Structure 1
Amino acid sequence: MDRTVNPVQAPAFLNGSVFYGCPSAILRWAHPKCRSCFGKRLELTRRRLFAARGARLYLRGDLVAVDRVKKSSIEYETGYLCEGKSENFPHIQTLKNFPKEELSGKVVMVRFDSSILLGEKLDKNSLAVSNALFTVQYLLATAEKVILVSDWKREVSSKLLDSQSVSDILSSLLRRKVVSLKCLSCGVPFKRELLEEADIFLLENLSGFRKEVANCPEFSELLSSEVDVFVNDSFSLSHRVLASTVGISRFSPACVAGFQFEESLRELKRVLNTDKRPYIAIIGGANIHGKAAALKRLVSECDGVVFVGMMSLQIMHALEYSIPSTLLEPRSSDAAVEVIQSARYRKIPIITPKDFWCINDSPGYQIEVIPAHRLGEGWVPVDLGPRSLDEMDSLLSSCKKVIWIGPVKFKSSHSSICTDGASKVAQIVDRLAQRNCEIAIVGNKACSTMIKESRSSASCSVIENASVVWEVLKGRKLPGLLALDRAFPFKIDWTMAYRNPAQPLVVDIGSGNGLFLFGMASRRKDQNFLGLEVNKKLVRRCLDGVHQSGIPNGFFIATNATSTFRSIVSSYPGEVVLVSIQVIEKLPFCQPVKSSVS
C-alpha cells in the first residue's frame, strides 16, 4: 500500500477472547501462516458483538451519498472482485511497501541468494547484485538488527571455506562488519543478548543441515527464534520447499519479499507474458519426459517452437529420424509424440536441426557437418550446423517476442570441440532485440552466452534459474512465493468509500449478509464500518444495499482477511477502533473466555 500505516491499537474480539494493546495480536492471527500452522485455512464468519435484532436496512440518503457509493461500487466491481484470479502469482507483501515503523526496533532475518552475492565473478553493477545488496542496506537503515542466512558450496566460489570467510566477503560488500553466529548446530535458540555485539550477523551454512531440505518444523522454529520479520530475497529457490524459505513462515510474525525477490518475480511475469505476436520459443536442454507438461504449454501459447540441444534429438526420433539409441533418453518417446501432436493440432511449426557438426566414432575424431538424416551412420552430434542456424534466423526474423530456455548442448564428451552454436543463437537473438523484439532468456548457460555475445542484453528479461520457470510452465505453484504474506492487490480510495474517511473505523471480519454492519452504521453516524467477507456474492449484495440506502459510513470488500487484513487497514487514514472476528474452530493458541461489550 502507498499510505503510511496506522497501527491497530484497538481491542480485537476473537471467539469470545479479547486482545488489547499492539497490532501483533491481531496481525499474528490474521496472517497466512496461521493456515499452514493449523493444517487448513481458517474460515471466518460474523460474530454479533452487539445485538443486531431488529436491524433495519434504511433506504434513505441524499443524492451525494448515492452517487458516492455508486462510483465506489463500479470501481469495486471492476477491481476488488478481481482479487485472487491469479493463484499462481498472488499479491504478496513486499519490503518496499512494508511500513517502516513496523521495522523499527525489530530483528529481521534475510534469506539471501548465495549465487548472487557469493559468486566467483561478482558484478557489482548488475541489477541482481544491486537489488540484493539494497535489501540488506535498507534494513540496516530501518531495523535494529539484521540476521543473514543462506546456503553455499565451494563450486559457487573457491573462497567459500566456512562461515567466517563468507562473513568477510559480505562485510566487504556491505562495508559493515558482519559477525558469524554458530547456534544452529547446537540446536538451541539464540538469545537477543547475542545480538548486542553488532548490527548484522550471519548464521551457519544451511547446506550442512539435512533438516533444511526436509523442511523440518523444529529446524524452522529454531531459525525463526527472536525474529520479528522474515525477508525472502532468494527467488531462485522459490520452487523448492525449504525450512529457510517455507517452513520459517509458520513461525515469523511477518514474511515479506525483498527487493531482489520482487524484481525477479516481475521478470518472471514478463517472461511468461504472451501478448506480443508472433511469439517463438527456442527450447534447449534435456529431460523431455520430465518437462512434457511445460512443453505442451509452450506449444499451446507460441506461434512456433525451435528445438535445439539434446531435446531436439528426442523430437527428431518421434518424427522418424534415425537417431542412435545412445542419444535417446528413457521414456522420451511418448512425451515427444504428445508435444508433436499438440503442435499439429494448433498447426504451428516445430523446427528441429537440419544439420549438425558431428564427430565420427572412428580413430582420429574427424569432424564434419552432417545432415540430420545421416546421424545413424556413426556420426555423433556436438553442435548445430549452419543450415540449422540459417533456418532459425529466417523463422525468427518477423517475431515480436522470443523466449530462449535451456542450453544448446549435446551429450557428447567431445562437444567442446565445436561450441559456437550457442554463440550464434545469441547473435541471432541479439539482432532481434535491436529491432525491438521482446526477448526472454532463461537458464544459466543461455544467460551467460547472451551476456558475452549481446550488445543489448540489458533490454532482455533474464532469469538464470530455469527450474523456477519450468515449474511454473508445468502449472505448479511456487512454495517460496506462496509462503509470503499477502497484500491487497488494489489501492483503496477511502474518499470514495466513505463521506468522511477520517472517522474512527470498525472492521467486521466475516461480515456475511451485512445486516450487523448496516444496523450499526445507521445507529453510529460518527464511525465508519468496513465489512471484510470472502464470499463475493454476499459482498456484491451488500454493496448494492449501500448503494440503494445511501449510507455514508458503510463499505464492504471481498477478500480473505486472514491474508490481506494488514495491508487493508494500514492504508486507512483514520483510527481503527474495533475489529470483530469469529472463528468456527477453536484456535490452539488461545482459550475462549467470556467477555461482554457495552
Structure 2
Amino acid sequence: MAKKTVKDLDVKGKKVLVRADFNVPMKDGKITNDNRIQAALPTIQYILEEGGKVIVFSHLGRVKAEEDKEGLSLKPVAERLSELLGKDVTFVAQTRGEELETAISELKDGEILMFENTRFEDVDGKKESKNDSELGKYWASLGDLYVNDAFGTAHRAHASNVGIASNLESAAGFLVEKEINFIGGAVDEPKRPFVAILGGAKVSDKIGVIENLIAKADKVLVGGGMTYTFYEALGKGIGKSLLEADKVDLAKELIEKAGDKLVLPVDSVVAPEFSNDAPTEVVEGDIPEGQMGLDIGPKTVELFEKELAGAKTVVWNGPMGVFEMSNFAKGTSDICEVLAKLEDAVTIIGGGDSATAAQELGFEDDFSHISTGGGASLEYLEGKELPGIAAISDK
C-alpha cells in the first residue's frame, strides 16, 4: 500500500489523534449495535500498547441545529469503548477549548481520551462537514500524529479527516488499511475470474459502479429492484415492479456495452403488493400485470451459482431482494450461501444493505471482508479517489 499505516509511525510518547467511525445506532441513549466500536479496537489497542496517548473522536448522526444535539453525544460510546478496552476512557464533552486542551496535556503514555461528536461543529456553519480550514488546523494542533481509521467517511472531505491530515503527519489505521487492500486490490488487481454482483433498488445509485465493473470484471450479475429497469430496456413485462423510467435508455446502453458479461435474473418472486403478508409466487421472464418483483427466484440462484463457479474474486454490493421481509430474503440468503462455499476465492461485500443482510442472515464469518463503509465502498468500486484516503501521508 502506498499510504503510511499506523505501523509506520513512531507513536511512543506522542499524542495520536485517531479518527474512528463510531456512528453507531442508538435508541433511548443506548447503543443497539457496537460493531463499529469493536472494529476500531485493533488500531486503538496497538497505539496504547506502543506507548502512545490516544485522542479518539468521531461523528454521530446528523447535526444541523442546536436541538439536533439531543441524544447524539458520544458519551455512551466512550463508556462502551472503556468496557471493551478494559481501561478508563476520559470523556470531554467539548469539541474545542481550554477544558479539552488541558485534559489532553495531562494524558500519560498509554492513556486514552475521547472528545465530543465532531458534527456538533456543524451547528454554526457546517465547519466539520465543509472542511473548515481553521477547524482542521485547530484539531491538528491538539496532537503530534494523525491516524484515520474511519473508512465510512473517507469519501467526504471533512475537517476531521482531510482537514487534520493536511496539517499533520498521518497514516491509515488497520481498518482503513484493510479496506484499501481488499476493495482497492479487488478492483485494481483482481485474481481472475473476477465476478461482481450488484443489487439494490436503483440503477441510478450504481451507474458508476456498473460502468467501472463492466470494464474490469469478467461477469456482472444483477439482482434487486434495478433488475426491472433492465427488463424494461429489453422490452420485457415488469407489471408493477420498481422502474426508473428516466434510466431505461442508460440501461440499454449498459446492456449493449456489456454484451454477455451482464447477467440478469431469469425468474422473480412476485407479489401484488409491497408487504410480507401478500401472497407470493415465482414467475419466469415477464412479470404479470398487477404483480411486482421483490426477489430473485430459484432458477436465477442456480444461474448465478453457475456463473460464480471457479471465481477467484467476488465483489458484492446490494441485496437481491427486499431482504428486510422474510418472504423476500431467500435470494439474498442463497447467494450468501453460494459465496460461503466458494473455495480459494476472495469474497468481499461492499458495505451498505448487503453487509447488513449478510450479518443479519448469519454469514458474517463466511466472507473474506465485509466493508464498514456504504457510500465510501461504492465510490471506491466506481474507481473514484476518496479524499479521506488521498489526504493520508504517502510512504
Counterpart of 1:277 in structure 2 is 192
Aligned counterpart for 1:374 among listed residues 267, 283, 287: 287
Aligned residue pairs: how many? 376
Counterpart of 1:426 in structure 2 is 336
Counterpart of 1:230 in structure 2 is 146
Aligned counterpart for 2:249 among listed residues 334, 344, 362: 334
Counterpart of 2:182 in structure 1 is 267
Instruction: Kindly provide the amino acid, as one letter, of the partner of residue 74 in structure 2.
Output: S
- Write out aligned runs for 1:429-440 (5 A): 429-431=339-341, 433=342, 435-440=343-348
Distance 1:367 1:238, change over 3 A: same
- Deviations for 1:398-435, whole angstroms, at most 9, x for unmatched residues? 43333222122349xx954432221111112222x2x3
Instruction: Kindly provide the amino acid, as one letter, of the partner of residue 148 in structure 1.
Output: V
- Deviations for 1:521-578, whole angstroms, at most 9, x for unmatched residues? xxxxxxxxxxxxxxxxxxxxxxxxxxxxxxxxxxxxxxxxxxxxxxxxxxxxxxxxxx
CA RMSD of aligned residues (A): 3.2
Distance 1:181 1:465, change over 3 A: same
Instruction: Kindly provide the amino acid, as one letter, of the partner of residue 96 in structure 1.
Output: K
Distance 1:484 1:365, change over 3 A: closer
- Write out aligned runs for 1:323-402 (5 A): 323-324=238-239, 327-329=242-244, 331-344=246-259, 348-360=260-272, 365-375=278-288, 377-402=289-314
| Aligned-residue identity in percent | 28
Secondary structure (helix, strand or coil) at the match of 1:343 reads helix
Instruction: Kindly provide the amino acid, as one letter, of the partner of residue 249 in structure 1.
Output: A
Per the TM alignment, residue 117 of structure 1 is displaced from its structure 2 partner at its CA by 11
Per the TM alignment, residue 188 of structure 1 is displaced from its structure 2 partner at its CA by 6.3
Instruction: Kindly provide the amino acid, as one letter, of the partner of residue 420 in structure 1.
Output: K
Counterpart of 1:221 in structure 2 is 137
Equivalent-residue separation in structure 1 for 2:264 and 2:128 (angstroms)? 41
Equivalent-residue separation in structure 1 for 2:359 and 2:74 (angstroms)? 31
Instruction: Kindly provide the amino acid, as one letter, of the partner of residue 340 in structure 1.
Output: I
Counterpart of 1:557 in structure 2 is none
Distance 1:138 1:230, change over 3 A: same
Counterpart of 2:67 in structure 1 is none
Q: Which moved more, 1:385-394 or 1:109-118?
A: 109-118
Distance 1:387 1:423, change over 3 A: same
Contact 2:322 2:329 in 1 (8 A): no
Instruction: Kindly provide the amino acid, as one letter, of the partner of residue 151 in structure 2.
Output: F
Instruction: Kindly provide the amino acid, as one letter, of the partner of residue 344 in structure 2.
Output: N
- Write out aligned runs for 1:522-537 (5 A): none
Per the TM alignment, residue 246 of structure 1 is displaced from its structure 2 partner at its CA by 0.6
Aligned counterpart for 1:180 among listed residues 69, 84, 91: 91
Whether 1:409 and 2:321 are equivalent positions in the alignment is yes
Q: Calculate the TM-score normalised by the size of structure 1.
A: 0.57
Per the TM alignment, residue 172 of structure 1 is displaced from its structure 2 partner at its CA by 1.0
Instruction: Kindly provide the amino acid, as one letter, of the partner of residue 401 in structure 1.
Output: T
Instruction: Kindly provide the amino acid, as one letter, of the partner of residue 331 in structure 2.
Output: G
- Deviations for 1:433-491, whole angstroms, at most 9, x for unmatched residues? 2x32332222243234445667794552332424223212333201011111111xxxx
Q: Calculate the TM-score normalised by the size of structure 2.
A: 0.84
Secondary structure (helix, strand or coil) at the match of 1:370 reads strand
Distance 1:270 1:458, change over 3 A: farther
Contact 1:235 1:265 in 2 (8 A): no
Q: Which moved more, 1:451-460 or 1:354-363?
A: 451-460
Runs of 4+ more than 4 Å apart = 115-119, 128-131, 186-190, 361-364, 451-456
Per the TM alignment, residue 241 of structure 1 is displaced from its structure 2 partner at its CA by 1.1
Distance 1:189 1:276, change over 3 A: same
Aligned counterpart for 1:165 among listed residues 51, 64, 76: 76
Per the TM alignment, residue 251 of structure 1 is displaced from its structure 2 partner at its CA by 2.6
Counterpart of 1:207 in structure 2 is 119
Contact 1:93 1:484 in 2 (8 A): yes
Counterpart of 2:226 in structure 1 is 311
Equivalent-residue separation in structure 2 for 1:415 and 1:230 (angstroms)? 42
Aligned counterpart for 1:136 among listed residues 35, 39, 44: 44
- Deviations for 1:205-225, whole angstroms, at most 9, x for unmatched residues? 123332211111122223223
Equivalent-residue separation in structure 2 for 1:464 and 1:226 (angstroms)? 27
Distance 1:374 1:313, change over 3 A: closer
Distance 1:189 1:268, change over 3 A: farther
Counterpart of 2:66 in structure 1 is none
Equivalent-residue separation in structure 2 for 1:362 and 1:445 (angstroms)? 18
Counterpart of 1:296 in structure 2 is 211
Counterpart of 1:84 in structure 2 is none
Secondary structure (helix, strand or coil) at the match of 2:7 reads coil
Contact 1:450 1:457 in 2 (8 A): no
Secondary structure (helix, strand or coil) at the match of 2:293 reads strand
Equivalent-residue separation in structure 2 for 1:164 and 1:450 (angstroms)? 30
Counterpart of 2:156 in structure 1 is 240
Contact 2:239 2:287 in 1 (8 A): no
Structure 2 unaligned residues grouped into runs of 5+ = 63-70
Per the TM alignment, residue 284 of structure 1 is displaced from its structure 2 partner at its CA by 0.5
- Deviations for 1:212-267, whole angstroms, at most 9, x for unmatched residues? 11111122223223311111111222111111011112232x11112222222212
The structure whose Rg is larger is 1
Instruction: Kindly provide the amino acid, as one letter, of the partner of residue 164 in structure 1.
Output: K
Instruction: Kindly provide the amino acid, as one letter, of the partner of residue 149 in structure 2.
Output: D
Equivalent-residue separation in structure 1 for 2:295 and 2:190 (angstroms)? 32
